[in-house]
Amino acid sequence: MPGTSQGSAHPETRPTTYTSILGASTNIDNSDLPLPQPFTDTEWDAIVAAAVANVAAMEASETQDHPDEDAVDDLLDAQPPGTGAALSLPVPAGAYARVPTWHSRRYWLTLCEWIVTHTERGRTTLKRHGIAAQTFLRVCAAHAHYAESTTGRHVCAALATLATKDELSIDQLKRGRRALKTLDLGVELARGKKLNATEREAAARLHLQVHGQLPARPQIGAASVWALSAPTWAVEAMPAPETPRTRPRRQSPRRPARAARKPGTFAARAGAQSPHGSSGSAPQSPSGSSLQCLSVRKDHQARTRAGEHNSTPTKTRPLARQRAAAQLVDRIPALLAVIGIDEATGKRRGHIGSICDLLVDAGIDTDRWTGIDIAQALNHDTATRGWTWPTTEAMTSPLRLVAHRLSRLDWTGPSPTERKIHGRERSGETTTDTAHRLIEARRRVRAALASGQAPPAVEQHRRAMREQLAADLATKAPADSAR
């Protein structure tokens, strides 16, 4: 038949001509081909495992299209305060506790400059990473600008943002970050990455909370999270700053000695110049002259000038930190042995500033964590680990014990107070200020309710009410019996 293979109505599905390796064509029959062999057990297990992996990947992709609400809420709760509308990556628990904080932004920049200019380790590090000292200090200043002022943490700015701060290039920033990491002056706590569906949803909701509308361009990536540190070796290498007490006193040029005067010269000159120097006039001072008043005035002025030059400026601790330290002392009996007033002698023991220093060294933000929250976290950790606080007599150094306990906890998450007052803050108000404002409002309400209630009944009023009740029951009893 025309249009068919070899005139058959059922054409062959495969050619009947086989070309061998030698190039010769031969005619073969389908019956001579080998039949397909069944899979072995090993091959079958491999095929099934691959199919299961493909199904799991498809399910994971479907799950990403619908992010988990709990995961989104956890990301939003983990955002540090003051980061703006950009989502920052969460930091692993306990990571901040292992990074020493700085004392101030100026101190950290001075420390960086000293390390790279006066130590062999700093110069070797800059040479190893191929960055100049001035460029490295510009990189440090750019990072310090976006760090938390009290601790040096939460540096979440992207490289493009840092580059616009001091006209730095991306390559210079990368070299500077390598040098910071080598010198332990900076620690990368979370590496920047592209956001998944859950993180993108959290970024959109964060932008909605801050600006009241969804972003025009959704956030697709997050920058690395850094913490600027003041390591022990660097602090010990740099000498202490010179204070007015330790500064050597400058030797003023010695004035030439005055010529010796003859006795009675000053008295004669004073008597000649003063119109009141006559014997008949009243004296200007108990000694009969104004010399004593002049010397007293000069001595007072000299003491004032000396006090102005020798006075040492004191750094006032924030009120929230002092309040948190006082609340912590009231709730930890171990601290009452070294801080507070001795009941036996009535003398003050220790200073509350030592507790404030413990909170700073542990990296606790007292604007978010009150002393009540800190004590609650310590008690919860104690119960979780199955520990008990030692007695006061058994402790040799309560401050070191509390410092060790504080360093083992993570203080970057939301505090119990933040969870309670979520959504009740005012603009420009810290967490502790909001908590104390709500506490004071609650106290005022309770006082108003207590003052508005009637006083309890006196004994005479209760006796009269019992007699009236007895009389009413007596009058009702004959009527009930008549019925």
- Give the pLDDT confidence of 327-374 residue by residue, as tens digits: 898 888 778 778 876 666 666 778 888 889 889 988 899 888 988 899
Tell me the residue range of the domain where 350 lies: 319-420
CA torsion sign, 12 to 16 to 19 to 20? Answer: positive
Looking at the structure of the chain, the number of domains it has is 2
Q: Is residue 248 part of a domain?
A: no
Query: pLDDT tens-digit profile of 248-284?
Result: 554 444 444 444 444 444 333 444 444 344 444 333 3
3-state secondary structure of 292: helix
**Pair of tokens at residue 179:** 């040098």
Residue 301 inside a domain? The answer is: no
Q: Residue 306: what pLDDT?
A: 47
Q: Tell me the three state secondary structure of residue 264.
A: coil
Instruction: Give the tens place of pLDDT for each residue, 46-91.
Output: 888 888 888 877 766 655 555 567 777 777 777 776 666 677 788 8
Residue 175: predicted pLDDT: 93
pLDDT at position 16: 47
**In a domain? residue 242:** no
- 211 and 347 share a domain? no
Type and span of the H or E element at 225: strand 225-228
436-447 mean pLDDT: 81
Instruction: Mention every residue, 6+ apart, whose C-beta is less than 8 A from residue 361.
Output: 100, 101, 403, 406, 407
Rounded distance, CA 207 to CA 213, Å? 7
CA gap 389, 382 in Å, rounded: 8
Whether 28 shows a pLDDT value over 50: the answer reads: no
CB burial string 299-319: b at 16+ within 10 A, e below: eeeeeeeeeeeeeeeeeebee
Question: Of the candidates 372, 399, 420, which is a domain's last residue?
Answer: 420
Encode pLDDT of 218-241 as tens digits. Answer: 888 888 889 999 988 888 888 876
| Residue 139 in tokens | 């990189």
Same domain, 228 and 343: no
Q: Indicate the residue among 237, 264, 290 that finishes a domain.
A: 237
Q: What is the mean pLDDT of residues 109-116?
A: 92
Residue at 195 is within a domain: yes
Asked if residue 207 and residue 83 are part of one domain, the reply reads: yes
- Calculate helix-pair angle for 398-407, 371-385, nearest 10 degrees: 80
**Phi and psi angles of residue 151, each rounded to the nearest 5 degrees, phi first:** -125, -20
Mean pLDDT score across all residues of the chain: 74
Tell me what the mean pLDDT of segment 287-312 comes to.
44
Residues 99/188, Cβ–Cβ less than 8 Å = no
Q: DSSP for 38-57, please give it.
A: PPPHHHHHHHHHHHHHHHHH
With respect to residue 128, please indicate whether it lies within any of the assigned structural domains.
Answer: yes
Question: Which residue, of 214, 237, 260, is where some domain finishes?
Answer: 237
What is the per-residue DSSP string for 434-451? HHHHHHHHHHHHHHHHHH
pLDDT for position 288: 40
> What residues contact 382, with CB distance under 8 A and at least 6 apart?
388, 389
Distance, in Å, from the CA atom of 395 to the CA atom of 383, rounded to the nearest integer, reads 19
Q: Are residues 173 and 78 in the same domain?
A: yes
Q: Is residue 383 part of a domain?
A: yes
